[in-house]
Structure 1
């Protein structure tokens, strides 16, 4: 049985992450800390309870060697975790499950770790599990899942195998973070975090194009972080919508890759676009300008999706994500 390393464990409690931003403490919510730069785009966290705001930002310092923003989002394929990423790249992500799905915590941690199996971790919450991926004899990913009461938390570290030592985050840093983070999660976190707050550069959760094309949205996170826009939505029937817009040195190359599997389509406001579709999944790769790329990915576990309706979501997102305010 693996014993958690690093500093002494803070009593009881537990919850790790792989998802957006959230939270407060058992003694009441701490004053909002600057997890991300406060802007009108929804990245500021004042007054919000999310995975990113449960603790002061400096608690995440062990996971954040380059002092990046903590970015709220929804995490893990089915977007049922309110989560937080360290910067816009998913090399470090943590989150708390707030919407039920069929997958157990153990199954999820094992799946994220590949085929090396599950290992118990002592001293975190009611129970905790660890998995890892290895390549060339080196550990390249570690995932830790924690259960405390009826709450489930996951922390995923893809930075442990980074080729640049300055970007590497080791397992001791993961434990140091969890020892402080897990006890701070309030019992009513799900109730507080179940919101549909997004910045003005994202489509509102009740946007007509989303409701007509996908589902009524029960959970959403997103906004601008630096020069990128990222928005994620979870529908009442667990349909998922993921929208992103960022700079790109070679948007044409991205479209060419998509063209091998999809078809060129017309999207209002775009220079070029490629659509890939099946009954329950539709994705669009879009070039809105000479140096930008947009990705729209929609999935559903029931019924079917209409590519035309998903294209309408993409067109609406091109407008909202192009706003400067």
Structure 2
């Protein structure tokens, strides 16, 4: 437990001061987020945010890495192979996001020339990371809700790699889509990481009940480090945002959440822990489907992702954010409740 608390504390402090340093760094250089206007089918009502510093996700991922490393300074707490593979995946996704953010700022347009290629590269990387988890660790190759032993379906290795790859790729993109309002993505991710801290710690303290979970304490430290990173960043990202996380943060956070779902054997619970992200990405898919099926004449929502729809309906931005946070909190609570209910049944 001390390692988990240490990781959370260090990453929170590092993110809090690191984000402030990034705000100063980018502001002094006049480098900020370009916003799509009405001519590009973008949220015209957000044009006032044009030029706000971006790439704040550097502080989130960097602080999380620092917190995770510092927690391992304690004796008898070695670095787990599984967590190191996860970090390679997170840092790769963040690097892709950073490159896209850099191009956007350089070209002063929110649709950089790299965005289509990035999608294919991150998809291939997701399958690669899933394969590496299989060959490099003892991860359970199941599709499961709370535990692989009973509430899971064991599948062939190649199918699990496809399944896990889709989970990683879809979650990174879903968090990226969610990052459109001040604090929305960071706040909802904070709840998801908090849930995985609870799950990992329960599994660690009761390892005999969850033999298929590898190195649960390190997973808890990993989740706590990211929770702290999001918390420190949220101080500056809450409305009105002084800085945006950018793709560098969104892709890294999404990958981290997906890895935690897979390594704790709760891959189906991620639908609850990332409920807002599922809703946001789903609204984009539905909007595109309706638009194409109608011969490009009709749309279901006024604008997608769905947070923009509610803004155009008349909800103030802060109202949308807080209500979406409440939905995320309820969904996360239900997910943790499902896990604890199963844990209680095992403990009897």
TM (normalized to structure 1)?
0.30
TM (normalized to structure 2)?
0.28
Normalized per residue, the structure richer in helix is: 2
Higher relative contact order (CA 8 A, sep 6+): 2
Normalized per residue, the structure richer in strand is: 1
